[in-house]
Structure 1
Amino acid sequence: MSEPHTHATHPEIVKRLKRAEGHLKSVIAMIESGKPCLDIAQQLSAVEKAITNAKRTLIQDHLDHCLDETVGPLNRDQRHSIDEFKTIAKYL
């Protein structure tokens, strides 16, 4: 069995996802109680943004730590390519 894989950002990601989970439950209640579609769509957008931000943080953290550990020391040109990859990944 492998060791737990954790990063410093994981507690914050869990916190964000739990908040999104509560928000999503509120959206479900809005639908069940017949709230206006515009209000529901706005709230769903907020839930979606929270999940996207949690995912982005997780991926960026992984790139910043796991990728560097895997590739090890690099010369300047190689390091530039890795740094460029990390930067462009922020736009995913």
Structure 2
Amino acid sequence: MQPRCLLLRISGRVQGVGFRYHTRSEAIRLGVTGWVRNLPDGRVEACICGSDGILEHMQQWLRHGPAMARVDDIEYLPATPTSTWTNFTILE
């Protein structure tokens, strides 16, 4: 079964608080593949891929993020599953 992927754009206090690092750590813990990066407008963008159950856990975590973050909104967009991502990466 091919994993499902979501593209998320997370807004709030999500840059300068370790959001990408902690997102990567949580993704690795859950077995999620994909990537996370900062956007120039202050948001964080992430592509997460995995089974429905694992993606639900990752989305729950992203709604709060790490302790110093404040998540105000998450925009959810569909993403095409790809076999390119075999791990979870922080993009610069």
TM-score (norm 1): 0.29
Greater share of strand: 2
Q: Flag the structure with larger Rg.
A: 1
Higher helix share: 1
TM-score by length of 2: 0.29
